[in-house]
Amino acid sequence: MAANPVPSSERRLWTFHGGIHIADEKALSNASEIAVAPIPKQLVIPLQQHIGASARVLVAVGDRVLKGQCIAAADGYVSAPVHASSSGTVVAIEERPVPHPSGLSALCAVIETDGEDAWAELPEPMTHYAQLDPAEVRERIRWAGVVGMGGASFPTGVKLNPGPDRRIDTLVINGAECEPYITCDDRLMRERASRILEGVRIMRHLLGGPEVLIGIEDNKPEAIAAMRFALGESDLRAGAEVVAIPTLYPSGGEKQLIRILTGKEVPSHGIPAQIGIVCQNVGTAHAVAEAVLDGRPLIARVVTVTGRAITAPRNLEARIGTPAADLIACCDGYREQPRKLVCGGPMMGFELGEQGVPVTKPVNCLLALTAAEAPDPGPALACIRCGRCADACPANLLPQQLYWFARAKDFDHAQDYNLFDCIECGCCAQVCPSHIPLVQYYRYAKTEVWAREQEKRKAEEARQRHEAKQARLERQERERQARMRQKKEALAAKAKAESGTSSEAKQAAIAAARARAAAKQQGAGEPTDGA
């Protein structure tokens, strides 16, 4: 068990390189309580809502499914199952548009809901999880399909299993929610602080009882107060602390928050577990509590629907698979036609091509921006090498160099400059006086590198298959030749044996013939009795 934490007023906080101050625009949606969105007529549930292998479909068109029923199983260690978020009938399993920067489609199970919202049989709650094998509790979290709710969507059961060779000293709970406009975590902390802490308690138990630091930006005083009050009522208070951190974008980035709270740096291309830290989002903690204490899979999440184009911005608890258009309708539709509809925040989000895309586990915000909120920056100008992008980069990279390498398709040099340390926060593009869409170049470069690596893997696999085939053919040829040699040797031995037997018989026949001839001659030379 960790020692008692230092009081918040005395805890030292660190800073990270760069970052920017931007208008948070959170007052648009954080004033009202979370409302439950109605059941949509149709749910579109993608089979991959997580980092890792896509889930393997378990249902067929025409099947009736129940709320909470597993409709796609995890296919591999780094994967997560998918569950039906309401009862109804599977009417299609097909490619549909999904919320992704690429704008591509993905395999989805389409469920026509019946309005009954009937639950499937759920597993027994693990209220005494502390007495169970940690592997059993992690398996429950895995069964529930819990993934990181802060946007990364990494399977939580995997993240809570750092391995016996890694000691975890600190569990960081991310309640920073630094992206402008988004307030779903803010409202969740205000309204369900106790449930979040129950999830934190479970995760802390699975990690061996490390110190817990709950980081929240100081522009959320109500959330900070609610979490501190709930912590004071919890048995976690002896080893956990709610820490108010300065508001600076992107303090909610995993590496940046760890730096602020602990002063430690996550190594390049590394993970926090390498330095004894695990970081989880407050929404993830809430989902863990639901899975373990209630036996409920992750089938809904809180989504912020906001922007000045929305008539009544608010936070909605939406079923996974609910089309974006349905949630916008729950907010009384558009006040005016938006210039663009964004999935996520204005900094790290991406524009949606249509309103029919469904809510998935990582989707935390639907942002309808007016022309005034998202003015057209005009064509990009030439880079003037001012260096503002490097000053603002929270990952301490050289965005200008990465831009040149990405533009020239020199991906090897881009990787040499730590391309994959870029968290795509958008700070560089925000401060660029030439309005160069820098993040788009980095995303393009990453995609090309991933595609190239995939081609290399495919080529290597093909080479290995070819070599294995050649080795098999050579082995078969050697075995064939060996069999032929053995057969020839056997035939030769048989022929030799037969030849030897024939020679002996011939010699015996010759000897017999000679004996007969000699006997005949001897008989002819003797006188008879009448001579």
Q: Is 330 annotated as a binding residue?
A: no
Strands (DSSP E) along 349-474, which ranges?
350-351, 365-369
Closest by alpha carbon to 217, among 261, 251, 185? 251
Q: Which distant-in-sequence residues (6+ apart) come within 8 Å of 483 by Cβ?
A: none
Query: How far, rounded to the nearest angstrom, does the alpha carbon of residue 317 sit from its chain's CA centroid?
Result: 23
Residue 427 annotated in ligand binding: no
Q: How far apart are alpha carbons 266 and 447 in whole angstroms?
A: 23
108 and 358 Cβ atoms separated by less than 8 Å: yes
The DSSP line for 261-292 is HH---PPTT--GGGGTEEEEEHHHHHHHHHHH
Is position 386 annotated in a ligand binding site?
yes
Instruction: Quickly count: other Cβ atoms within 10 Å of residue 289's Cβ.
Output: 23
User: For residues 442 and 450, is the Cβ–Cβ distance under 8 A?
Assistant: no
Question: In the block, which residue shows the tokens 């040149």?
Answer: 404
Take residue 438 and report the two structure tokens written for it.
């820098």
- 428 marked ligand binding residue: yes
Residue 530: strand, helix, or coil? coil
70 is in an annotated binding site: no
| Interstrand relation of 64-65 and 365-369 (parallel, antiparallel or unpaired) | unpaired
DSSP H helix total and E strand total for the chain: 13, 17
The single-letter DSSP state of residue 433 is T
Burial of 75 by CB count in 10 Å (0-12 exposed, 13-18 middle, 19+ buried)? Answer: middle
Question: Residue 57: beta bridge partners?
Answer: 72
Cβ proximity of 150 and 223 under 8 Å: no
Nearby residues of 92 by Cβ (< 8 Å), 6 or more positions away: 61, 108, 109, 110
And the tokens for 363?
Answer: 């989707």
Residues 6+ apart with CB under 8 A from 442: 399, 402, 403, 406, 419, 422, 424
Only one residue has tokens 């709970």, namely 173
The answer to whether 365 is annotated as binding is: no
DSSP classification of residue 423: -
Distance CA(395)–CA(424), nearest Å, equals 10
Closest to 110 (Cα-Cα) out of 172, 47, 171, 49: 47
SS3 at position 402: helix
* Binding site listing: 383, 386, 389, 393, 422, 425, 428, 432
* Binding site listing for [4Fe-4S] cluster: 383, 386, 389, 393, 422, 425, 428, 432
